[in-house]
Homo-oligomer: A and B are copies of this chain.
Amino acid sequence: MTDLAPLTGATADRSDPASPVEHMKWWGWGVPGVAFHHEDKPAFAPFVLHAVGIDLHAVQPLQQPDFAAIEVPASIADQALRDALAAAVGTEHVIDGDLDRVVHTYGKSIRDLIKVRAGDLPRVPDLVVYPKDEAAVLAVVEAVVAHDAVLIPFGGGSNIAGSLEPMPGESRAVVSLDLGLLDRVLDIDEGSGLARVQAGALGPALEAQLNARGWTIGHFPDSFTHSSLGGWIATRSSGMQSDKYGDIADITRGLRVARPGGMLDVRATPSASTGPSVREMILGSEGRLGVITEATVQVHRVPAKRVIHAYFFPNWRAGSKAMREIAAGDVHPAITRVSDGRETGFSLATAKESKGFGALAQRGLFAFLKRRGWDLDEMCLSFIGYEGSPDHVARQRRAVEKIVKRNKGVGVGTGPGVLYDQKKFDTPYLRDFLLDRGTAGDVSETSVPWTNLDRMHDGVIAAAEAAYESLGRKGWIMSHLSHSYHSGACLYFTFAFVMGDEPQAEYDVVKQAIQQAFIDLGGVPSHHHGIGVEHAAWLPDVLSEEGIGVLEGLFAATDPGRNLNPAKITAR
């Protein structure tokens, strides 16, 4: 029931045979051999033509990149470092093969994909190591510092903020530490709803181990299938149900971090008044304070009932106002999400003819709304998720639907929500499909107080459109509100444009326009994707120079040799 299909003409795309861990495609998102397709979505091609001007029926997609054509810089790791790492993790788990090193060079932002497809590899890790337990992670950290090399932790490789890449000018050896072998749930404290989990566990492995005992972490970012617990923590991730379960910063209670001096261990307790929070320093630290090996996280009983209802609002203002009223009320759904008219159009265009929205359209709903005076281009699709006992779900739904009605919204049942639930992890594949057709698409998100929300929505769209115009290029941007808080919400933007001769520079123009609008309109550079190198330029705007100084002081004091993923977050 997903949007995915076997990739036509897929060649052997697998990880380096020497690697003990399976990875995503070296050149794109997701499982090797699987790709987005639109053959059964008749409205998709017309939508793409309208949005970015590409005729999918006419354009000849690029061939899958050929790894043999890529020139990979040789490893500069010397024998002493190799020996020390082999002593730490075993010779078989120190890899210097080109494919594995390229897989560990970038995350999966569109900037990353453009670069790796173009063979733009100014600096790749010199070695990739796969420790099998915490002791081995600590031994790697100590070896890297002892040999004055650079260490970059790697979870699922889904990062889109540039947190994983070696700095281009780095003259020391760079070691990528892949946590893929640390993927176990170690213990569940069933009385407290706490689980001890190794940091390398990817979403599906983590959830399967919890589900087997009747528990869930309740953390489902779009990257879920290819991101790890340690990565979520290192970037302060949020998931689709964070309105109920909290962001990863709320979920994470205890932490173990391998540092040059030994293991840092924050005891897992419900709350503490123990000085500046060391727990909150590790959260979002992107490797600069050490390597997260384990976390104790809140887990919940799988709810008796879980359902996602879809609603349409006549326009963005009505939809965002409804979300604000829900947040201010007494009930707190697990998901509060509303797409703007543009993104709603996109969702309808990716629907299959006879299912979900297709079926809705067939039932004449849209004709009815039109007769009611709605402009279907402005119409906004909302998903509200309810979880808990059947009674609780029913009560929450009644309370929400009063607010929906007051804001002229219309409920359309659970069909679209079921589809959304099934397809939610497929969207990242779409970027590769577009890239194959000369179109760059990516996402950027911010958080903003309610008062500025609509202004932010409109302002970011205007900024992106100005950027497209300055490039003389046809582009598209759409948005949804993805998480609600007491004082505001997260706005999540997806943008795409047809690339010219200088894709990287063009991407930078668009991305910078969007990020600058975030700042100018009262937001932050990132709500849940982290800072890395892509967002670092805007950090002083929201933390002030003194705040950046505090961060730099922290990093300088705890990593004086700049061995731990240097230059990320603060860019200095």
Contact = CB atoms under 8 A, between A and B. Distances in A.
Contacts of A261: 545-546, 549
Nearest to A535: B274
A377 interface: no
Contact of A262 (B236, B289, B545, B553): B545
A276 interface: yes
Contacts of A59: none
B192 A272 contact: no
A490 B271 contact: yes
Contacts of A395: 395
B266 A289 contact: no
A470 interface: no
B544 A263 contact: yes
A234 to B, nearest CB: 10
A105 interface: no
A16 interface: no
Nearest to A304: B330
A450 B487 contact: no
Contacts of A486: 193, 270, 298, 300
Given A264-B546, A267-B543, 7 more contacts: A192-B450, A269-B446, A270-B447, A271-B447, A280-B281, A301-B328, A554-B554
Contacts of A269: 446-449, 487-488, 522-524, 542
Interface string A266-293: 1111111111111011111110110000
7 nearest interchain CB pairs? A553-B557, A280-B280, A270-B485, A264-B546, A191-B451, A192-B449, A270-B488
Is chain A's interface secondary structure helix, strand, loop, or mixed overall?
A: mixed
A483 interface: yes
Given A275-B551, A284-B276, A544-B263, A268 B449 contact: yes
B276 A451 contact: no
A439 interface: no
A324 B193 CA distance: 11
A525 interface: yes
A257 B452 CA distance: 24
A241 interface: no
A434 interface: no
A275 B539 contact: yes
Interface stretch (A36-44, A201-209, A526-534): A526-534
B192 A266 contact: no
A479 interface: no
Nearest to A518: B269
Nearest to A268: B449
Interface string A550-572: 11111011100000000001100
A275 B265 contact: no
A189 interface: yes
B270 A542 contact: no
B543 A274 contact: yes
Contacts of A268: 449, 487
Nearest to A488: B270
Given A261-B546, A544-B265, A558-B553, A273 B193 contact: no
Interface in A482-533: 483, 485-490, 522-531
A253 interface: yes
A547 interface: yes
A247 B277 CA distance: 14
Nearest to A543: B278
A552 B278 CA distance: 11
A382 interface: no
Given A392-B330, A544-B264, A274 B539 contact: yes
B266 A544 contact: yes
A556 B557 contact: yes
